[in-house]
């Protein structure tokens, strides 16, 4: 059927490679973002004793801090799973919050994960469009007769 060069084994091998390639395309991909210090490093910090400078030396400054210049420290790590054509899903998120008092001494160390969070509804304010009911050509050609020569001078 295929000539003398192809055998049934060759066709089966090609089909097997195609099937395995299709299955490999359906595996989940994981992406890690951010950094949260391990518990061993956090054990070095003592609330009420350590300062902002000692936190920077022990575990490093975070990539995100509070709104004010002397704000709290926030370390954030997340793990996202992408599977085929589906929307990526956050499967793990950790937030480590280190708060300081007015003297820049560690006041509290808290750890939060995905189960501690809640959905924040976003409000959308949409400006009404004045082009509703007008087609593309009507919008493009609608200004042809509306030229005012005084606008050119």
d(CA 35, CA 97): 12
d(CA 44, CA 50): 9
- The pLDDT profile of the chain, 153 residues, written as one tens digit per residue, is 555 556 778 888 888 888 777 766 677 889 999 889 998 988 899 999 999 899 989 998 887 666 555 688 889 899 999 887 788 888 888 888 898 988 889 999 998 888 777 655 655 555 555 656 677 777 777 767 677 777 776
pTM of the predicted model as reported, rounded to 2 decimal places:
0.60
Domain extents in the chain? 28-117
The residue among 2, 3, 61 whose CA lies nearest residue 35 is 61
Q: Which residue has the tokens 């060069």?
A: 5
Q: How far is CA 95 from CA 29, 37, 114, 134, in A?
A: 22, 10, 9, 49
**Burial letters 85-98, b for 16+ CB under 10 A, else e:** eeeeeeeebbbbbb
């Amino acid at each position: 059927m295929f000539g003398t060069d192809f055998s049934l084994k060759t066709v089966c091998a090609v089909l097997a490679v195609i099937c395995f390639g299709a299955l490999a395309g359906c595996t989940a991909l994981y992406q890690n973002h951010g950094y949260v210090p391990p518990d061993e490093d956090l054990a070095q910090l003592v609330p009420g004793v350590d300062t902002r400078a000692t936190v920077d030396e022990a575990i490093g400054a975070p990539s995100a801090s509070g709104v004010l210049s002397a704000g709290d420290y926030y370390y954030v790590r997340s793990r996202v799973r992408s599977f085929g054509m589906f929307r990526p899903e956050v499967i793990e998120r950790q937030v480590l919050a280190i708060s300081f008092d007015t003297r820049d001494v560690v006041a509290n160390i808290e750890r939060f994960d995905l189960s501690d969070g809640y959905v924040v509804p976003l409000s959308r304010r949409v400006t009404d469009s004045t082009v509703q009911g007008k087609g593309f050509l009507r919008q493009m050609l609608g200004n042809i007769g509306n030229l005012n020569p005084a606008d050119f001078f």
